[in-house]
Amino acid sequence: MNPRLLIIEDDSEFADYLKRGLTYEGYQVQVANSAETGMSLLKASQPDLIILDVMLPGIDGMAACRVIRQTGYSGPILMLTARNAIDDRVTGLDAGADDYLGKPFGFDELLARLRALLRRQGTIGNIITFADLELDTSLYCAYRHGREITFSQTEFELLRLFLSHPQQLLTREIILEHIWPGTQENRGDVLDVYVLRLRRKLGNPSLIHTVYGMGYILKEDKT
């Protein structure tokens, strides 16, 4: 299961930006625009990680962090703030935050912080699963129907890309840029060959489906 994130951020435009980007990266994302709403969502479902803005209306992020920890939540909390003073960072960490990211920040830096926190928590491991398929990213092989499947480097990277974006349409352009960055020209037929190889190796029922004229999508075949 992909990691579940709860974003508590009162800037709706910024929160939407984070949600869209993180959803594209394979995370399951919920958004709350206040600490009170966030804590209500937390009672209903425990996320794997909380992204918490410091400057919130009503209960601010520092106080919210303390209350969240008092409820028994033990997952990582990443605090976001436009204030970069060391004292503010210390206060946030003392309140129960695991890491601190000052605005503005690059999206790649955010992703790196999330991976580090989730890895420390044990949420991210070496196995990526979808349906009855397991991909071992440390051994470069997969398991399905009780059999081991090995891949070339390119086949492995292509399958990992699909598994990182389950049930999402990946256009041919996105795939080509990810697998063969900067050299998309004349690679379209090569991509089709690699997808065919993956389908053959993974067997039936098919998991990689063609969206004609657009690209491919990883989903279970319900037919």
Which of 87, 121, 155 is the last residue before a domain boundary?
121
Residues ≥6 apart with Cβ < 8 Å to 86: none
pLDDT tens-digit map of 38-93: 999 998 888 999 999 998 999 999 999 999 999 888 889 999 987 665 666 778 78
* pLDDT (mean) for 212-218: 94
Same domain, 56 and 140: no
**Is a pLDDT exceeding 90 seen at residue 121?**
no
The answer as to whether 37 is a domain residue is yes
Nearest to 130 by CA among 19, 216, 26, 201: 26
Give the range of the structural domain holding residue 61, as residue numbers without chain letter. Answer: 4-121
The residue type of 174 is I
Amino acid 3: pLDDT? 83
Same domain, 170 and 213: yes
**Is a pLDDT exceeding 90 seen at residue 104?**
no
Same domain, 14 and 92: yes
Number of structural domains the chain divides into: 2
Q: What is the CATH number of the domain that holds 81?
A: 3.40.50.2300
The answer as to whether 188 is a domain residue is yes
* pLDDT (mean) for 172-186: 78
Q: What is the CATH number of the domain that holds 182?
A: 1.10.10.10
The answer as to whether 223 is a domain residue is no
| Helix, strand or coil, per DSSP, at residue 193 | helix
pTM attached to this predicted model: 0.57
Same domain, 116 and 59: yes
Residues ≥6 apart with Cβ < 8 Å to 163: 128, 130, 133, 135, 218
Which of 60, 95, 121 is the last residue before a domain boundary?
121
Amino acid 87: pLDDT? 65
Looking at the chain, the whole-number percentage of residues with pLDDT higher than 90 is 48
Same domain, 30 and 52: yes
Instruction: Say if strands 215-218 and 28-32 run parallel, antiparallel, or are unpaired.
Output: unpaired
